[in-house]
C-alpha cells in the first residue's frame, strides 16, 4: 500500500506542475492585453446582442433570389423574374445591369459559356449577354 501511494505521489509531482504551467500559459495568451475589445478572443460575447442586424438592401435580396432561381430552374426564368421585379419596383432599375451581369456570370459557371448565351434576352440592355461574354 505504501509503495503504491508513493508511486502515485511521484506521478502527480511530475505531471501536476506541467499541467499548471500549460494551463496558465494558455490562460495568459487568451487575455486581451491591448484593452481594445476588437482584439478580444471573446468578441462574440462582448457585442451587444440587443442591437438588431442591419436590413439587407432590396437589390441584394433580389440577387440572392435570382441566383437561386437560376440554379433551380434556368437563367431564362431568372431573367424574367428580374424584369418583373424592375417593372414592379422601378427603384431597382439602377441595379438591373449589375444583377443581370451576376446572372450571366452564374449561368456561365452552371451551363458553360455557349449554353448560357442561349438564354440571353434584352433585359437591362443585354447586360446578361455581356456578363456571359465577360466571364465565359
Q: What is the mean pLDDT of residues 3-14?
A: 79
**pTM (2 decimals)?**
0.60
Residue 87 CA to residue 7 CA, distance in Å, equals 83
Start-end of H helices in the chain: 2-29, 43-46, 58-72, 75-88, 96-111, 113-117, 127-135
The answer to whether residue 81 scores a pLDDT higher than 60 is yes
User: Which 8-state DSSP code applies to residue 37?
Assistant: G
- pLDDT digits 0-9 by tens, 66-75: 999 999 999 9
Residue whose C-alpha cell reads 508511486 in the numeric block: 7
Residue 40 CA to residue 45 CA, distance in Å, equals 10
- pLDDT digits 0-9 by tens, 20-54: 777 777 676 766 666 666 655 555 555 555 667 78
Amino acid at each position: 500500500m505504501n509503495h503504491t501511494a508513493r508511486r502515485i505521489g511521484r506521478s502527480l509531482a511530475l505531471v501536476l506542475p506541467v499541467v499548471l504551467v500549460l494551463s496558465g500559459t494558455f490562460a495568459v495568451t487568451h487575455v486581451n492585453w491591448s484593452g481594445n475589445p476588437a482584439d478580444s478572443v471573446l468578441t462574440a460575447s462582448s457585442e451587444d446582442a440587443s442591437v438588431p442586424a442591419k436590413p439587407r438592401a432590396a437589390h441584394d435580396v433580389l440577387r440572392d433570389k435570382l441566383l437561386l432561381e437560376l440554379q433551380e430552374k434556368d437563367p431564362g426564368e431568372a431573367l424574367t423574374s428580374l424584369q418583373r421585379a424592375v417593372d414592379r419596383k422601378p427603384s431597382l432599375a439602377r441595379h438591373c445591369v449589375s444583377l443581370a451581369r451576376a446572372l450571366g456570370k452564374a449561368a456561365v459557371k452552371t451551363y458553360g459559356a455557349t449554353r448560357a448565351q442561349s438564354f440571353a434576352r434584352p433585359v437591362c440592355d443585354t447586360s446578361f449577354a455581356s456578363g456571359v461574354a465577360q466571364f465565359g
